[in-house]
Chains A and B, each alone.
Chain A
Amino acid sequence: MSGSQQTGGPNLPSDDEPDLILQTDAHKPAKRIPVHEWIRRKLAWIGRLVRRQARFFLVVLGAGWGVIFESFRSHAWRRTVRYEFVTTMNNIIGGGVSASLFAGMLTGVAAVSQVIYWLGLTGLAKMTGSILVNVVIREIAPILVGILLLGRNGMLSATELGLLTIGGQVRSMQSVGMDPFLMLVLPRTLAFTVAGFTLGILFSMSSLITGYVMSRISGVITNPIWTFLDDVAAAMSVTDYAVIPLKFIMVGFVVGLGGCLTGLTATNEDSLRTLLPRGFSRGMLIVMMVSVLFSLDL
């Protein structure tokens, strides 16, 4: 033995391998990578990452336009598409009602009743309606409903379609003229859209009513519920009447579309281990993006 030991593979680091050469022999200095080469590799890595992420973003944009465009064409709504739409919508709304109501109740206890209490204590009770509208209904509700949709059904769609793609069933469908975009992506995305709006409204009502009940029980407010709801409605601007439903609709749309596309763009190298984390992180990102975009502009 010459006294030198080298760990790791051959002395030719690839793009993906760390540029690390361990040598204990003082007579053989480690082969150093020039700084410009190191920078080039890091930039290439960042470039690959950006390209991969941007590709999905562009696919979502294109497919989103496709869903909207096709949904207005009467002959896109064949029996199979209608069946998939109704089935998915029943699954999402039927299965998600109790979860949304419960999450709304928790938000009512944790946020609404606290807002009422602290504003009352500081003598700012007149602002209760506008703060509830701006914080709970406009900001918190779409995000929580989006997360519920993503966790309950978005991941399911990503997994189902991913397994169909990897297993070859999607290609089998194509070979007999059944377009997976028309059969699966269009109806599911629209079902998520309707469900997003429905569950969002249920969530908001549930949180407001629970918050009122908690405050009434603790004696913080004495108004009847109609007066409380009237205060909240009066605090809503004309823009809120458009933005809040639009936010629920958009959240449902992007969660459905993102889940379906994550599944359909799966490759043979994918498995549940890769699909699920990817679907979840993408879903969270697009829910947050929708929330932020609406908050920035309006």
Chain B
Amino acid sequence: MEAYSAGPLLELNKAVPSFEDSGLPPVSFSMKLMPGECMIVEARDPSRATMFADLCSGMVELESGQVSFMGLDWANLQDRELNALRGRIGRITRRASWAEFMPTHLGIILQQLHHTTRSLDDLVAEAVRRSESFGLPGVPTVSPSLLSDTDLTRVSCVRAFMGQPHLLLLEDPLEGGSPELYNSFLSSVTEARDRGAGVIWLVRSNAVWQSYRQGITSTWRLADDGLVAVRMA
């Protein structure tokens, strides 16, 4: 991946999301995420966290303001450009995201198969390597509904980190997950940041990221009055 270094990776510039479209408070959201940074966003309501991640991905209509990713305003892009740009986002979401008619291994590499020309062998090798690093014995080939919640969390992590994405929107996979996921998750986050990816880690409770606090560049809280900066002690 060529690292992006021409300014903020993601920028919310007085973006007021449409309430009807998102359920987010129609107030101004502003923040900047530089390449290599890791930002914590604390959101008590998981559906609101998902919508905030959608806002960052250009999926939410704006009343005013703008949201830019890699210097490009989502609102000014055509469908094809939008999709290509979103292909550079790795995401772990609490919203249902596994299609039942597709086996899990295909679901893991689907985004890469769609957006890149990397060979299948290469993708499978990366999927196996990442699956093992997240504590799986290999890439699951069964239907996603047959996996346990813990394994589904693991494969969601594998999918999000596949293919060196530029931006990671991670709705906390550690909450309720197994403790052994912790180290592999943090090492994957660190690896991604080292190569210039930006990370937005959406959490419900601030307990999960405390041991990684040295690596956190900023902390925010998603409240009724928008995105509020939280001072770190």
Please give the residue numbers on chain A whose beta carbons come within 8 Å of chain B beta carbons, in ascending order. Answer: 78-80, 83, 160, 163-164, 167-169, 171-179, 183
Contacts and interface: CB of A to CB of B under 8 A. Distances in A.
12 contacts: A80-B114, A83-B106, A171-B54, A172-B97, A175-B86, A175-B93, A176-B90, A176-B91, A177-B88, A177-B89, A177-B115, A178-B114
B226 to A, nearest CB: 21
Nearest to B81: A177
Interface of B: 53-54, 57, 59, 79, 82-91, 93, 95-101, 106, 110-111, 113-115
B93 A177 contact: no
B111 A175 contact: no
Contacts of B54: 171, 175
A163 B101 CA distance: 11
Contacts of A175: 53-54, 57, 59, 86, 89, 91, 93
A192 to B, nearest CB: 16
A80 B115 CA distance: 9
A174 to B, nearest CB: 7
A67 to B, nearest CB: 15
Contact of B96 (A80, A160, A168, A178): A168
A176 B82 CA distance: 10
A179 B79 contact: yes
Given A78-B114, A79-B113, A172 B83 contact: no
A79 B84 CA distance: 15
A78 B114 CA distance: 6
A73 to B, nearest CB: 10
B114 A172 contact: no
Contacts of A173: 97, 99
B49 to A, nearest CB: 13
Contacts of A83: 106, 113
